[in-house]
Amino acid sequence: MQKVINDLVQLQELTIARAQQAASMPGARLTELESAIESMQNTLKEPLRTQFLKLQKRDMLAIVPLSNQVCTACGMSLPVSFVQSVRQAERIHQCPSCARLVYFRKYSLSRIPQKRARRGEPPKVGIERFSAAELMIPSLEAKTRDDALLEICRKLEAESFVEDSDKLHETALKREAIISTAVDHGLAFPHVREVEGGGLTLALGISKKGIKFGGPGRTLTRIIFFMVIPTSASAFYLKLLSGLTQTFREADNRDKLLAAETPESLWKALLKTTKATIQ
């Protein structure tokens, strides 16, 4: 049964990757993903196949992990006996609250709780809700995709946004193995989902010379938006991705990021360029 659960999780990753490609590359050819999705769907036996597809029509997240006896999708606290049964993986279980399929994850990535805004401080708006000046890297030292992702992950850990940069990096590479997150105009949107705690977090790394990030023939990637996504923010992530893509299709906006020399100037450029597209 564990293999079936693994297949369901992989199938879900493929369908989310398809949605991400559609959001970041409107009109993109998705033949490869569509073929892989159809192939995996056909391996599922009935009635599980119908049940899974029905759940995905309602929400992309049809199967979610448990965390500390809680469903990570709806936040429902679950009985210890139920959690133990899920851990044994002798059959497929559904959350009694949201009806999603649930599974037990052997390890999890965790966010470090962030300080709450002080009383009287103005509310954060736009891109400020997801990032900060300390997560800007105006000149990546890395020369390869893997090293660039590691450099950004280490930055997230150094600034106390995540607990384990190595595990974050490993998970990001697994996502890249499904299909590259590099898109046109020298942009890439690597990310890690199902991180426990906190909200959606964005780090930005700039490679002045460019990095070979995608497949053969793709232009070098120079602007890397790395996102850490808790389960509860998976749907909103697509809106943020679409807003970033819309903003940085424009060469003038990309040039403003590439011209920044310090974290502070990169942060100001990001705030200014996304003001109209990310609310």
Average pLDDT of 75-94? 94
The per-residue pLDDT for 138 is 98
Band of residue 28 on the pLDDT scale cut at 50, 70, 90: low
Band of residue 227 on the pLDDT scale cut at 50, 70, 90: very high
The mean predicted confidence, pLDDT, of the chain is: 88
Q: The pTM is what?
A: 0.83
Which segments of the chain belong to CATH 3.40.930.10? 126-274
* Cis amide linkage into residue 47, ω under 30° from 0: yes
Beta strands in the chain (DSSP E): 63-67, 70-71, 93-94, 101-103, 136-137, 182-183, 187-188, 191-193, 201-211, 221-229
The per-residue pLDDT for 217 is 63
pLDDT greater than 90 at residue 221? yes
Band of residue 215 on the pLDDT scale cut at 50, 70, 90: low
Nearest to 204 by CA among 233, 175, 227: 227
Q: Which three-class secondary structure state does DSSP give residue 196?
A: strand
The per-residue pLDDT for 27 is 57
Work out whether strand 136-137 and strand 201-211 pair parallel, antiparallel, or are unpaired: parallel
Kindly report, residue by residue over 243-267, the tens digit of the pLDDT.
999 999 999 999 999 999 999 999 9
The per-residue pLDDT for 267 is 98
pLDDT greater than 80 at residue 189? yes
Which segments of the chain belong to CATH 1.10.287.1490? 2-103
The per-residue pLDDT for 218 is 67
In single-letter form, the type of residue at position 3 comes to K
Query: Class of 2-103 per CATH?
Result: mainly alpha
The per-residue pLDDT for 235 is 65
pLDDT greater than 60 at residue 127? yes
| CATH code given to domain 126-274 | 3.40.930.10
pLDDT greater than 60 at residue 114? no
Residue with tokens 């890439």: 188
